[in-house]
Structures are given as C-alpha cells and as structure tokens.
Chains A and B, each alone.
Chain A
Amino acid sequence: MRIRRYITVVLLAAAFVMAVAPRARADDAPSQEYKIKAAFLYNFLKFIDWPTDKEADHNEPITLGIIGKDPFGKAFEPVKDKKINDREVVIKRFKSVAELKKLGKEGEAELDKQSGELKNCHLLFICSSEKDGIEEIIAAIKDRPVLTVADTEDFLKSGGIINFVMEEQKVRFEISDAAAKRSKLQIRSQLLRLAKKVVK
C-alpha cells in the first residue's frame, strides 16, 4: 500500500515536471535565432565607428539598449561579459512606448526621461513590439549617433539603420548606409559587404 502511494507520488511529480519544464525553458532559454542575433548585436559594435566625441571617454561602457518587449531572454548570457575595445557593454532595457503612453501622464514623463536616455545609447534594438512606434523612437534619437537595429519589416524605410532578416533559416541583415551616415555612424565596409541589402 505504501509502495503504491509512493509510486503515485513519483508519477505525479514526474507528470508535473514534464508539464511545467518546457514552458519554463521557453521562458528562460532564448531561441537559437535570438542567441545569434544577440551575438550579432555584439559584433555590430565591432564594425561600427562612432563619432569621436562619443568615444572620448573610453572608460564609459558601451550602452546597448533594448526597447520594447525583450525577445532575447538570457541570450546575452554568453556575451555579456565581453568587452568591446576594452569597454564594458551595458545592456539597458527600455519600456515599450505604447505601454508608457497607456499610462497617461505618468507615462509621458517617464517617456520623456526614457527618450533622453535613449539618446545616449550606442546601439538601440527596437523590438518588434514597437513596430508601430518606430518612427517616433527614431525621431527621438534623431541626429544622435545611435545605431538602430530591429527585426521588423520595412525598418529601413522607417529610418532604421540595420534590420535582421531571415534567409533560408539563417540570420541575415540589411543596412541603410544613408541612415547610418545621418546618424554620423561609420559602418565598415566589411559589414556592408555582408549585408543582404544596403540602402545608400
């Protein structure tokens, strides 16, 4: 009797684990796609030259901003301790503009504050959750040397600089050199060469 009870408990526990575990993993373990994208984001930092005044202070960390609903999860774990040109990389997450707008006044204030911080980012990944507010975000950081990256269709048309695209299940990207130049960013030719499409 007792043994049957133990077996029942074990079986129940096993069923629970089996039901819960994948979901938990889906939450914590990022998809392969975003692991690559995370790595790519880091690598972009290496092939982009920021205006010199921005680089004056080498001790300042490089700020990698992520705005919107973060799809990376723990995808940055393997690369987060890496330094770019001896500079630490700090990942800053920003709240979705739409959600802040929903908050009303309080949200407005925070949005203003967040817009100021966005300007100081070196790279800003605009999550697909923000695809409707992309132009607004880009406008906010206009004329600032911020490399904008997204994986949203027509991102480049919206004034973004680099946009991830999938091609044959591989992560590729397209670049708007024009947008980069507007932002006073220098994209190295190697990177440009790799781009699936370059908007001049």
Chain B
Amino acid sequence: MPIMRNMAIKQKLVSIIMLTCVASLLLAGGIFVFSEWASLRRSMVQKMTTHAAMTGGNCKAALAFEDANDAEQTLSSFKEESSIVSAHIHDKDGKAFASYRRDPGDGSEKGSDWGSPVPELGKDEYHFGDGYLTVHKGIVLDDEAIGTVCLRSDLRPMYAMLRAKVITITGVVLLALLAAYIISSRLQRIISGPILGLAEVAKLVSEEKDYSARAVKESNDEVGLLIDSFNEMLAQIHHRDLALVEANEGLETRVKERTTDLVRANRELKNSVERANLLAREAQDANEAKSQFLANMSHEIRTPMNGILGFTEVLVGEDMDEEHKKYITIIRDCGRELLVLLNDILDFSKIEANKLETEITSCSLAELLNSVESLMRPKAVEKGLEFRVVESPGLPGQIRTDLMRLRQCLMNLVGNAIKFTEKGHVRIIVSIHEENEQAYIHFDIEDTGIGIPKDKLGMIFEEFTQADGSHTRKYGGSGLGLTITRRLAEILGGRLTVTSIEGQGSTFSLVFPVGVGAASEGFLDRHNLAELRSDRDESAEAIFSGQVLVAEDSITNQRLIELLLKRMGLEVTIVEDGSQAVEAARSRDFDMIFMDMQMPNMNGYEATKALRSEGLATPIVALTANVMKGDDKKCFAVGCDEFIGKPLDRKRVLEVIGKYLPNAAHAAREKSDTTA
C-alpha cells in the first residue's frame, strides 16, 4: 500500500491491526445485521403466515356457508395485533368476502383494499413492498381451496427493531475497535520495539561510526534473528575497521619512512645540484678563463706575427736580388698561412665555446662581392684559373647579415676552391630564390677541381677532416675551414651544402635568408663600386703628406708602423703609451693619430676619451690585435674614427689614410693634368 510506505512501523502495525479489526468487525456486524434482518423477516413471515393460516382456518366455515359477518368478526380479532394493518378474505372466485382495516381513515395503505392483485386461489405467498409485508394464504377446506386470506403487516416496527440492533451492533463494533486500538497500541511494541531498537543502534553506528555498539536481542523470532545478523555484521565491520586502522598505521609508518627517504634523497639531490651548480660555475669560470686565455693568446701571438709579417712585407718592397726576394716571399706566405691557421683555430674555439657573436646589419652585397673578388681573384689568376662572379638578375642591393662573417665564409669556400683546382675555373654564382615565401640568397662556389668522392661527402664538414688524409700533406690547411664555414652559416641562419663529382669538380652552396626589408632597398649595382675600387687601387701606390702621431708600446710594432708610414711619405712621431700620446697631441697638431688600444700606463681607450673630451677633432685610428667581437664598437664608443686590426695590412692602412689625408701623388697627377 503506497500510503503505508512512509509510515512508522508502529503506525503500520497499529494500522494493520486496526484495518483487520475494522474489516472483520464490519463483516461480522454486517453479517449479523443481515442475518438479523433476514431472521426478523422470516419470523415475521412466519408469524403472519400463522396468523393467516389461523384466520383462514377460522373462516373456513364462514366461507363455506358464505357468512361474511362471521368472517369479518373473525378478522376483527386482529385489533389485538397492532402490526396488522389490514386483512382480507377472498372467496374462491376471487371476490372480496370479508375485510378488516386497522385504521379505515388511514390513507397510508396504498389504494383500494381490493386493488392489490389477488393471487391465484389457494396459493400461499408473501411479498415485502411499500413498507408492508403482504401474506396470502389459501383457505383449504377438505382439500378444496375455498378462498384466500390476505394479511398486510406494517414493517415499521420490524425496522425500528432492526435499527435498534444496528445501533447496538455499531456501538459494540466501536467499542471493540477502541479496545483493539488500545491493545494493539500497547502490543505493537512487542514487534516494533526491537526493530526500533535496531534502527536506533544502526543510526548510532552510522552517525558516530561506533562499530562497537550492539543491538539488544529480546526475542527469538525473525527480528531476533535479524538483530543477531546485524550484530554479527557490526562485529565484522568492527573487525575490518580495526584491521584497516592497523593497515593505515602501517601505511603511515611506511609513508613516514618513505618521506624520510625522500627528504634524504631530496637533500642529496640538492647537494648534487649545488655541486653541479658549483661545477657549472667552475666550468663557466674555466670557460671564461679559456676565452680570456684565447683572447690573450690571440693578442700575444698576433703581436710577434705582426712583426714577422710586417717586416717581411717591408723586405718584399726592398730592392734585393731575385734569390732573396723569393725567400722573403716564401717567409711572408708562410707567415700569412700561419696567421690564417691561427685565426681558424681561434674561430673554432669560439664557436665551440658558443662565444662567437654576430652582428647583423644591413650591408651592401656589392661591397661584399667586390671585397671577396679583389682578394681572391689574384690567387686564382696566380694559379692560371678563370675567376668569375656571376650575378643573376633580381639581386638586392642590401642584405641583412653579419658582413664580416659572411665574407669569411665566402673567402673560405673560394680559397678552398682555388686550392683544390689545378685548371679550369672557379665561379661565384649569386642568385636569389624564394622558399616558403621568404627570399634566400644563394652563393654557389663552383670549381673544376679534384672533387669529392661520394662516400666522403658527409665527412668533409667534420672538424679536422679532409676528404683524404693525403690531402693534408698535399694541400695543407687545418681541416677546420669547412667546419667553421658551415657553423658560421648556421649561426647566421643559413646553410651550407655541397654537390660534387669526383675528378670533375664541386659546388658548395651557401644559402642565407635575405633578411626583412632588405630586398626593397634597390638592386645590386656593382659597377659603380667596382669603378670606385679601381680608382682606389690606383691610389694604392699614392704618397701622402702630413704629420701623424703613433702611440704603440711594442717596439717591433713601433718600427713597423714607422717604416710603413714613412714609406707613404708621412712624418711620424712615436710615443710609448697613452699619457705620452695625450701630451704629444696637446703640444702639437697632428693630421692623424694611430692609437694602439692595449698600452701600459694609459691605454688607448682612456687616451682617446681624454683627447676627445678636450675637443680634439683629429682623426684617431684604433689599432688592436683584439679581433674579439665588440672590440671595434668599443673603439668607436670612445671616439675613434677608424679601426685597423693587427697585424697591419698595408692596403688597409692605405685605404684608411686615404680617407683623411690628401694623396700627394694624386694631387700631383691632377696638377700635371691641369697643367697639360
């Protein structure tokens, strides 16, 4: 029953009992009332039938002898029987013979006395209706029906009696229900008590997690069984709980142990990290020391190299017999080679130490190609090779890259090409291509040299490697050139690849991105520059006039510079350090000042700074053996106008001086031109 579902068990029990009681009492009461009613009717019918029979018997003679008066007299005896409201006798023809009415004026009896249907003669029957019981009884005289008695009885007294009984029974039923309610309310505890107790314990257990609580068993019935099972279950849970707690504790201990282990491991790790950091710092320090060492070494080595190369250069210009001149040339070439090797090793070291820095600027492609060509063409021509720079159309005028490094790459590759080619040509093919919507400039250095075997192609970029071990002996070189070139190309965002057919030649391809915006700055026009360069080449033989101050601490260098400059027609004043240079500059006017940057007492930077702060405008050329990145910037920052690396290259010196001093030879030629 859905209504019952939400009831408390007490109410359920009471409800069930009450429902049962109500149902049974109602049934019993109903049956009782019904049977009472039926028996009342039956007894009434019986009584009336008896009355009818008696009346009939008494009226037999009256009927037989047609004495209606006598019959009516007989009927009038019903005055004593209050329930009979009317009595009639019909003769055998169905005609009314005699009649009696309790209250002749009473209209309550329906219709005429004779209106009611007269039953078949002699037939006994009765029927209830309209609040009356009507009984017909045949009058039989000696087996012959001679008439019918018809009695009509008022049922109201019967109903009144029945009503009284119903009221009594209802009262009894209500009393019984009350009693049932009281008894069931008290007795339901027998069943609900233990269940409620069980529920209480279950609630306690679920709310307070107290698994040691137990329900009290009060009986040995199913509820008792339930309580036993519940307690057993609780015991099991309790047991399991304890086991769980134990396991938990074990786990905690283990966690603690692990935590301790972890802390220890952590500490060890921390120590390791600290050690590693320390080592890293040490390594860094060592690396820095190494870099510093390299810088120093480059300086220290370059200085004597300057001397050797400078003076051989001087000697080459001297008049001497051919034999000596040949030796001197060999010494000079060897010195240069040594310098190249030295530079290679330094570069490689820097690359390896990730110390190589690049300076990406917008630079002129024409200038780059010119400088490469001017430097490499003589070498090629010397070997009897054709040398050409092939320019594809659409090349930009400017490219964004590190000019110095790119030039170094190209010089390396072209130098290699010339070195490994005996006859034929060396070409630089410059073109521009688009990849992934980005412009790349290609420098393909093509030669007709010995080529590289296919199986060696992959090796040639590895450091200290040449295609063939015998090459080293045959062609010389450190084997670092290609490695450095490739690394430089990568550092600059480009790549270096090679294709080669052994015995027919190789093509090295340098590919660089052109750089943002570079392509829009016009196209390559090398012709003008080339013109300019040729002019300047001519002036290389020029003689200048003017007074120059040279600050240089190394005596070798003093002599070398003095010799170089004097040959160019200049008056040279030498000082040994920065402070002397400042003093000299204050005391006299010079047309140019050559300032070595590394000097005792006062170095070149400080001296330059001091002079510039005094408002001196004389061009100052920085001389330094430091070819480390940023040196030139430092020089420009303190106020130098030019920067020349050591060892001094005569051409470079000429170029720089030509910018600031009038070329006497040129002037003389112009003079002669005008005079002519």
Contact = CB atoms under 8 A, between A and B. Distances in A.
B70 interface: yes
A26 B58 CA distance: 37
A46 B67 contact: no
Interface string A40-62: 10010011000000000000000
Contacts of B66: 36, 170
Identify the interface centre among A188, A191, A194: most chain B CB within 10 Å of its CB.
A194
B141 A194 contact: no
Interface residues of A, number: 18
Interface in A149-200: 170, 172-173, 188, 190-191, 193-194
Nearest to A190: B61
Interface string B29-73: 000000000000000000000000000001011101111001000
Interface stretch (A7-15, A82-90, A104-112, A118-126): A82-90
B567 to A, nearest CB: 197
Contact of B70 (A47, A84, A193): A193
Contacts of A84: 142
Contacts of A190: 58, 60-62
Identify the interface centre among A86, A170, A173, A193: most chain B CB within 10 Å of its CB.
A193
B58 A85 contact: no
Given A82-B144, A85-B142, A190-B58, A46 B70 contact: no
A130 B70 CA distance: 32
A188 to B, nearest CB: 7
Nearest to B59: A190
Interface residues of B, number: 13
Contacts, number: 35
Contacts of A43: 61, 64-65, 141
A17 to B, nearest CB: 32
A83 B65 contact: no
Contacts of B60: 190
Contacts of B143: 83, 86
Nearest to A82: B144
A194 B144 contact: no
Given A190-B58, A190-B60, A194-B70, A46 B65 contact: no
Interface in B349-389: none
B142 A191 contact: no
Contacts of A194: 61-62, 65, 67, 70
Contacts of A82: 144
Contacts of B142: 46, 83-85
A19 to B, nearest CB: 35
Contacts of B61: 43, 47, 188, 190-191, 193-194
Contacts of A188: 61
Contacts of A170: 66
Given A190-B58, A193-B70, A40 B65 contact: yes
A172 B68 CA distance: 12
Interface in A68-97: 82-86
A128 B327 CA distance: 220
A31 B593 CA distance: 200
Contacts of B62: 190, 194
Contacts of B65: 40, 43, 173, 191, 194
B607 to A, nearest CB: 184
Contacts of B144: 82
A70 to B, nearest CB: 22
A135 B639 CA distance: 206
A190 B65 CA distance: 10
A82 B143 CA distance: 10
A140 to B, nearest CB: 28
Identify the interface centre among B58, B61, B66, B144: most chain A CB within 10 Å of its CB.
B61
A191 B64 CA distance: 10
Interface in B142-173: 142-144
Contacts of A85: 142
A88 to B, nearest CB: 13
Contacts of A36: 66
Interface in B65-101: 65-67, 70
A192 B67 CA distance: 12
A68 B142 CA distance: 29
Contacts of B64: 40, 43, 46-47
Contacts of B141: 43, 46
A49 B61 CA distance: 14
A85 B140 CA distance: 12
A33 to B, nearest CB: 13
A165 to B, nearest CB: 13
Nearest to B60: A190
A47 B146 CA distance: 14
Contacts of B70: 193-194
Contacts of A46: 64, 141-142
Contacts of B67: 172, 194
A86 B67 CA distance: 26
Contacts of A173: 65
A40 B141 CA distance: 13
A95 to B, nearest CB: 30
A47 B70 CA distance: 16
A194 B143 CA distance: 21
A91 B89 CA distance: 32
A115 to B, nearest CB: 30
Contacts of B58: 190
Nearest first, the 10 A-B pairs at minimum CB distance are: A190-B61, A43-B64, A194-B67, A46-B142, A194-B65, A191-B61, A194-B61, A194-B70, A46-B141, A84-B142
21 contacts: A40-B64, A40-B65, A43-B64, A43-B65, A46-B64, A46-B142, A82-B144, A83-B143, A84-B142, A85-B142, A86-B143, A172-B67, A173-B65, A190-B60, A190-B61, A191-B61, A191-B65, A194-B61, A194-B65, A194-B67, A194-B70
Interface of B: 58, 60-62, 64-67, 70, 141-144
Given A190-B58, A194-B62, 20 more contacts: A40-B64, A40-B65, A43-B61, A46-B64, A46-B141, A46-B142, A47-B61, A82-B144, A83-B142, A83-B143, A84-B142, A86-B143, A173-B65, A188-B61, A190-B60, A190-B61, A190-B62, A191-B61, A194-B61, A194-B67
